Structure 1
């Protein structure tokens, strides 16, 4: 992690009273705010983006509720979801998280479960390496700022693109495990 150019470019900007904005060569990762709702809904309302996540588009009401929950998690845990903004255009192009995995399909985090990194991108940004770039910045934050020992990532077994990002991050396949009430391909990596 620490030797890759993207990881070296990733920076955490955090004071004790603020949530961290992370930057990479092409992205600015900002904790969810109400001003992100329209862009997040456009992302999550795309059935192809949500194909392996929920299997259905998200409504505006659902996006508003998610943003409210995520803002509270930032306050409670000091980590949650970021919106990904393209540095060049300023557009919201994706979202990613650092959160606790859940055994069941609940919206409530389980602090006893390991930390998970995750991501999703607008369809017009697929295949450009942005998910890997953002995930490296989030992993650096987890390991360097939060001093996490291990990170997990999970995906639908059919989601080969997401599994490939996990492999590019240097994560190791742990097999199919039960998370969010489903059998998911599970990957992990340690601070080393």
Structure 2
């Protein structure tokens, strides 16, 4: 599992040691507004981390905890993982390898409006293109989530339209490897 670094964050593959910090973020209505619409319970966050660990084991990529190095606090989380059309993660994770790799992120509100989502996303995209040889990356968002749209724009992603991902219609953005390398 790969630890990544940005000028202001350490991206650690998410584990149970991050549970309290990630749950502190995922239980906030303003964080989950566009991600399922409801705050998560402690048990839901624990199950989400367990799923991420399964994905790390199967694919060598999944969710990272964004750690602010000075305080050690979880500032957010982000991923490079195989996207899926269905809401639930399948038992056979290899079945998702035919889908594109997705990049995603979320931040605790204490870390909003500081450019950290863009900083972490640039680092994760480099990982996807350099280490995983991704031909493209997609990013999906609730159509009303304009803050994420701005991060996608900063990544050079283009809007592709509304598509079904995770069991619902999402605004979908894409950047090809060739376009990424030209940035």
CA distance in 2, matches of 1:46, 1:156: 17
1:23 aligned partner:
5
2:122 aligned partner:
136
1:44 positional shift:
0.4
4+ runs deviating over 4 angstroms: none
CA distance in 2, matches of 1:177, 1:39: 32
1:104 positional shift:
1.7
2:181 aligned partner:
none
Give per-residue Cα distances to partners, 1:52-111, cap 9 Å, x unaligned. 001001111111111111112111110000000112322111000111111121223522
Out of 148, 171, 182, which is 1:185 matched to?
Answer: 171
The runs of 5 or more residues in structure 1 that have no matched partner are: 1-18
Instruction: Tell me the matched-pair count.
Output: 174
8 Å CA contact retained: 1:100, 1:116 = yes
CA distance in 1, matches of 2:143, 2:49: 27
Q: Which has the higher helix share?
A: 2
TM-score normalized by the length of structure 2: 0.92
2:55 aligned partner:
73
8 Å CA contact retained: 1:20, 1:31 = yes
CA distance in 1, matches of 2:50, 2:88: 16
Say if 2:162 is the partner of 1:176. yes
8 Å CA contact retained: 1:26, 1:88 = no
CA distance in 2, matches of 1:162, 1:48: 13
The runs of 5 or more residues in structure 2 that have no matched partner are: 179-183
